[in-house]
Structure 1
């Protein structure tokens, strides 16, 4: 991976597109195997670059991160722009 600023989000909230396949209580459980694997995978991705950062969004769904956590997304964009401008 190139040495670039990277912020990886892990959405730990209920994704509305997953509810037809499984229960909301399962999706909310941060220790279910799906969430555990997702968290570990995204941590490794962020750790794969020198300036990678992993941010967990407890109430955002994967496909709805931008609407569930818009302030966090905008903050991350500004953070990346600041980092890219300082290189």
Structure 2
């Protein structure tokens, strides 16, 4: 278990609740990139697989937590995108 890996995941993870809250409240896709979110998800999957296959330790739970938060932000992006599209169609 690396203290630097833990710090990196905690720092990345600390930012996601704010992003999720902003996405939920604003109901906007402004400033969001679904491609960026998918790339991050792929990175977290790689980290999880590495922990499962080569070096299992409890840091895997930080990878999974971050994966869930990024997934939540992506789901909110999809929801907000659909809401925005529906509003444009009504106008």
Structure-1-length-normalised TM-score: 0.32
| Structure with the bigger percentage of helix | 2
The normalised TM-score by structure 2 is: 0.31
Q: Based on CA coordinates, which of the two structures has the bigger radius of gyration?
A: 2
Structure having the higher strand fraction is: 1
